């Protein structure tokens, strides 16, 4: 039953993605034309890298505490 529900949700999410393929996002076009999209991508990348470093440092601390 769970597999059937998951498959149904997956198919419904795919159909909504195909419906949105025809639409254009004006904000993205404006940001791309002015070069600001690269600033947004860089900020998101810095945030994800910071989160990854933070999580790895917590993991190392927990491993050290578990060994004790």
In a domain, residue 65? The reply is yes
What predicted TM-score, i.e. pTM, was given to this entire model? 0.53
User: Distance between CA atoms of 22 and 24, rounded to whole angstroms?
Assistant: 7
Name the residue with higher pLDDT: 37 or 20. Answer: 37
**Residue at 34 is within a domain:** yes
Does residue 28 or residue 38 have the better pLDDT? 38
12 pLDDT more than 60: yes
What are the C-alpha distances in Å from 46 to residues 17, 43, 52, 53? 28, 5, 10, 11
User: Is pLDDT of 17 > 80?
Assistant: no
| Residue-number span of the structural domain to which 56 is assigned | 24-68
- Residue 28 domain-assigned (yes or no): yes
pLDDT (0 to 100) of residue 58: 96
The answer to whether position 32 is within a domain reads: yes
Q: Is residue 57 part of a domain?
A: yes
User: Is 37 part of any domain?
Assistant: yes
Task: Provide the number of structural domains found in the chain.
Answer: 1
Give 3-state DSSP helix, strand, coil % of the chain, rounded to 5: 90, 0, 10
pLDDT at 38: 85
């Amino acid at each position: 039953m769970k597999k059937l529900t998951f498959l149904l949700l997956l198919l419904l999410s795919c159909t909504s993605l195909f419906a949105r393929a025809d639409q254009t996002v004006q904000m993205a076009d404006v940001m791309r034309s002015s070069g600001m999209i690269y600033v947004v991508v860089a900020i998101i990348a810095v945030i994800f890298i910071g989160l990854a470093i933070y999580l790895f440092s917590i993991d190392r601390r927990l491993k050290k505490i578990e060994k004790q």
